[in-house]
């Protein structure tokens, strides 16, 4: 384990310790909003750190196995805590027999559907990342805007021509952190952050190829997966998140468990494979198109495929009670 003490940064460290509160142990980032960072610590509590105190935290570098062990420990402790001191009841994902039941649950969670204030607050996020305004928990709109800004064709072409491959990879990491509601800190963000610099050029060129190449998308997708595979980062979320943020009208973000459940419920021939591939990805896109059609027939109009992903993810996940003011 290595402890680093850099100056306060706009990029939140994933794992930290608080020198003034050693009894907290180590903590990992669970959320960032309203100029606060929320860390789940080994004391079983989620501690809110205001911006003025970010510099007090010391970033900690853990190996992949240590990071997974920390997450497992902290999640277990957090699940046991409740205001009454009694063991916390763990939320269970609903069993949905058909699309009708799923749609009814969606409207129960979000009365008014995709245009509701609650959907905008919890899923879509604010459209303009104004640092002086309070932000909703969801950051998908911000992540989309960040991706379109940092990964535009002209921006990438200039960086590649200048050999600024590390800068491109750093920008991808910035986008990943803006998309924490999609990517898992320990499963996706930290492994990519720890990627060896020797992979920077290949990853940078593969990202440019994926997003702005001229040949068939399936070939570009498989080339990106091959490059990520050499860095041991070929996961569905990392392979799909950039296209989904750049062009959500066309591309989908993939967390396989949601697609497997959705396909089983709809008797859709997904033929899921654990290793990302263009062939399986196209079937996932077809599934999302089927869901979008069903939603349209019921009078709901998702903005894009990211909204359809939200529909799947929220209805297939353990249900939490509505927050106050929602």
Percent of all residues in the chain with a pLDDT value above 70, rounded to a whole number: 83
Residues 127, 260 share a domain: yes
124: in domain: yes
323: in domain: no
Whether the pLDDT of residue 3 is over 50: the answer is no
CB 232 within 8 A of CB 203: no
Lowest mean pLDDT among 47-56, 116-125, 250-259: 47-56
Q: What is the pLDDT of residue 322?
A: 54
Percent of all residues in the chain with a pLDDT value above 90, rounded to a whole number: 58
Residues 104, 74 share a domain: no
Distances from the Cα of 322 to the Cαs of 302, 312, 319, 325, in angstroms?
22, 18, 9, 8
The residue that leads in pLDDT, 71 or 173, is 173
Number of other CB atoms surrounding residue 125 within 10 Å:
22
94: in domain: no
Q: What is the pLDDT of residue 93?
A: 62
Q: Supply 77's token pair.
A: 């402790």
CA distance 142 to 148: 10
Whether the pLDDT of residue 152 is over 80: the answer is yes
Residues 6+ apart with CB under 8 A from 132: none
Q: What is the pLDDT of residue 6?
A: 42
Out of 20, 52, 80, a domain closes at 80
Whether the pLDDT of residue 80 is over 90: the answer is no
Residues 266, 153 share a domain: yes
**Average pLDDT of the segment spanning 100-106:** 96
CA distance 34 to 73: 27
Residues 13, 63 share a domain: yes
Residues 153, 39 share a domain: no
Q: What angle do CA 165, 250, 311 make, to 5 degrees?
A: 110
Out of 52, 80, 108, a domain closes at 80
Whether the pLDDT of residue 113 is over 90: the answer is yes
Q: What angle do CA 311, 316, 318 make, to 5 degrees?
A: 120
Out of 80, 109, 132, a domain closes at 80
91: in domain: no
CA distance 24 to 17: 8
Lowest mean pLDDT among 14-28, 31-45, 209-223: 31-45
Residues 295, 199 share a domain: yes
288: in domain: yes
Number of other CB atoms surrounding residue 240 within 10 Å:
24
Residues 65, 139 share a domain: no
Lowest mean pLDDT among 97-111, 114-128, 232-246: 114-128
Mean pLDDT comparison of 83-97, 186-200, 205-219, highest-scoring range: 205-219
- For tokens 């079937």, the residue is 283
Residues 175, 65 share a domain: no
**Average pLDDT of the segment spanning 108-113:** 96
53: in domain: yes
Residues 185, 56 share a domain: no
Residue range 276-326, pLDDT digits in tens: 999 999 999 999 999 999 999 999 999 999 999 999 999 998 876 555 554
Residues 158, 29 share a domain: no
DSSP-H helix ranges across the chain: 64-80, 99-109, 117-119, 140-150, 153-161, 165-178, 190-193, 200-212, 217-230, 236-246, 256-266, 278-297, 305-316
Residue 55 CB-half CA count within 13 A: 3
Q: How many domains does the chain have?
A: 2
pTM score above 0.85? no
Confidence at 74, pLDDT banded by 50, 70, 90: confident
Mean pLDDT of the chain: 86
The residue that leads in pLDDT, 104 or 140, is 104
Residues 192, 124 share a domain: yes
87: in domain: no
The residue that leads in pLDDT, 111 or 186, is 111
- Residue 15 belongs to domain spanning: 2-80
Mean pLDDT comparison of 2-11, 36-45, 83-92, 274-283, highest-scoring range: 274-283
Residues 271, 217 share a domain: yes
185: in domain: yes
């Amino acid at each position: 384990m290595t402890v680093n003490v850099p100056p306060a940064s706009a990029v939140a460290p994933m794992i930290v310790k608080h020198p003034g509160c050693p009894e907290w142990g180590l903590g990992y980032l669970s959320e960032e909003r309203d100029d606060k960072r929320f860390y789940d610590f080994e004391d079983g509590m989620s501690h809110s750190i205001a911006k003025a105190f970010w510099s007090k935290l010391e970033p900690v570098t853990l190996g992949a196995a240590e990071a997974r062990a920390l997450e497992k420990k902290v999640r277990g402790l957090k699940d046991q805590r409740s205001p009454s001191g009694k063991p916390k009841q763990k939320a269970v994902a609903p069993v949905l027999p058909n699309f009708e039941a799923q749609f009814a649950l969606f409207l129960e969670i979000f009365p008014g559907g995709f245009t509701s204030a609650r959907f905008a607050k919890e899923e879509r996020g604010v459209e303009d990342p104004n640092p002086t305004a309070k932000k909703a928990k969801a950051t998908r709109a911000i992540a989309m805007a960040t991706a379109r800004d940092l990964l535009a064709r002209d921006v990438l072409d200039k960086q590649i021509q200048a050999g600024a491959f590390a800068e491109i990879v750093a920008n991808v990491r910035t986008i990943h952190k803006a998309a924490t509601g999609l990517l898992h800190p320990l499963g996706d963000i930290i492994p990519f952050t720890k990627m060896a610099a020797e992979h920077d050029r290949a990853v940078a060129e593969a990202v440019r190829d994926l997003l702005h190449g001229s040949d068939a998308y399936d070939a570009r997708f498989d080339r990106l997966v091959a490059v990520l595979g050499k860095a041991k980062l070929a996961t569905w979320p990392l392979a799909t998140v950039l296209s989904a943020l750049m062009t959500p009208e066309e591309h989908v973000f993939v967390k396989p468990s949601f697609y497997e459940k959705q396909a089983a419920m709809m008797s859709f021939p997904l033929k899921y494979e654990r290793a990302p591939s263009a062939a399986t990805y196209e079937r996932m896109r077809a599934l999302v198109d089927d869901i979008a059609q069903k939603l349209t027939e019921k009078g709901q109009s998702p903005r894009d495929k990211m909204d359809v992903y939200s529909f799947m993810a929220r209805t297939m996940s353990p249900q939490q009670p509505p927050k106050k003011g929602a």
